[in-house]
């Protein structure tokens, strides 16, 4: 905890100092002799501060070198503002040197990213695992990696999954949940209503502002893709029972695996888990109306859109909850025998 806090404080301090140096450089440019200003400011803004960012932020956190490139271009933009022209001082020469360096960094890092993605794809048939491993390499933090992976997964399932089969491993018995609670019927209803609504809202808003109308339409289309991707993910990522475990899914929102040896009980009613604190539960039922509750003996790791959580109880809405509980009981008894 102390190490993480120290790194966080270091990042805040560096960003504050960097902004102060940028502001001071731009404000004091008029008082610096031209022949010094044209050399010192670009070197400070495009080399010194990015180098400090690499040494104090990127390297300690093992971030990708791609993070340094925006800092260099920010320095270039401020150098142009301070010097008054992109042709002033050593800016053209410095830029001609740094652009090939940036391209080399980009090529090197993209090759690494592709390698991580291919490795993840070879080790798992789950698209969300591909994106999660790739994004974790880029950002090194669980929460932003999970959020970005969920976003990429939405687009994958909405656009690229239509000829794919549901994610079911050999020997698993799958249980669907996309029809539970009328979820898919609701999605079909929205699919019929959205085109009319989008066109109508666009025409209405365009009477006031064309730019706002296109912005609202773009957001509406994004919402359609997001809902379609999540609905498709619910079909493609069923809950499954393996030889000695239960694999729990809920579209792009949740993933967890629990061995039968760690399952305390499987319930069909929330009344059966009243003795367990709400903080130890996650409810992924349709409209929060779960019809199956899986209770573990001790906290298990659940991967959510916001990162990993430790809970004891997970609620799901399955199309056939009774068949699931019977299969889980059968497998559990088979292992105990």
Helical axes 142-159 vs 210-236, angle rounded to 10°: 90
Picking from 272, 315, 275, the residue whose alpha carbon sits closest to that of residue 293 is: 315
- Is pLDDT above 60 for 93? yes
Tell me the pLDDT tens digit for each residue of 46-82.
888 888 888 877 887 788 888 889 988 888 888 888 7
Helices (H) and strands (E) in the chain, counts: 11, 8
How do residues 173-205 score in pLDDT, each as one tens digit? 999 998 888 888 888 887 878 888 888 888 888
Q: Does the pLDDT of residue 7 top 90, yes or no?
A: no
Candidate from 136-140, 176-180, 258-262 with smallest mean pLDDT: 136-140
Q: Give residue 4's pLDDT.
A: 57
Beta bridge partners of 121: none
Residues composing the chain = 337
pLDDT of residue 200: 85
């Amino acid at each position: 905890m102390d190490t993480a806090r120290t790194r966080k404080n270091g990042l805040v301090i560096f960003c504050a100092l960097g902004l102060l140096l940028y502001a001071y450089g731009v404000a004091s440019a008029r008082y610096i002799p031209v022949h010094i200003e044209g050399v010192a400011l670009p070197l400070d803004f495009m080399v010194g501060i990015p180098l400090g960012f690499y040494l104090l932020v990127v390297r300690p956190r093992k971030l990708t070198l791609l993070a340094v490139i925006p800092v260099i271009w920010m320095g270039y933009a401020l150098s142009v503002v301070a010097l008054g022209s992109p042709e002033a001082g050593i800016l053209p020469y410095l830029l001609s040197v740094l652009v090939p360096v940036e391209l080399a960094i980009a090529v090197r890092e993209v090759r690494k990213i592709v390698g991580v993605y291919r490795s993840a794809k070879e080790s798992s048939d789950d698209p969300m695992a591909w994106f999660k491993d790739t994004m974790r390499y880029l950002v090194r933090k669980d929460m932003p990696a999970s959020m970005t992976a969920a976003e990429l997964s939405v687009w994958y399932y909405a656009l690229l999954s239509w000829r794919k089969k549901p994610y079911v491993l050999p020997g698993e018995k799958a249980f669907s949940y996309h029809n539970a609670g009328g979820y898919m019927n609701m999605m079909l209803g929205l699919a019929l209503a959205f085109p009319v609504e989008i066109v109508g809202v666009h025409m209405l808003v365009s009477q006031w502002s064309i730019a706002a109308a296109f912005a609202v339409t773009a957001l509406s289309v994004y919402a359609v893709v997001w809902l379609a991707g999540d609905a498709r993910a619910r079909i493609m990522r069923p809950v499954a029972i393996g030889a000695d475990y239960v694999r729990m899914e809920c579209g792009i929102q949740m993933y967890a695996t629990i061995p039968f040896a760690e399952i305390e009980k499987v319930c069909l009613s929330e009344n059966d888990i009243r003795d367990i604190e709400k903080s130890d539960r996650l409810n992924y039922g349709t409209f929060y109306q779960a019809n199956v509750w899986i209770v573990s003996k001790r906290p298990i790791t659940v991967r959510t859109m916001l990162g990993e959580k430790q809970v004891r109880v997970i609620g799901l809405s399955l199309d056939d909850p009774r068949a699931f509980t019977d299969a889980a009981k059968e497998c559990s008894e088979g292992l105990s025998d």
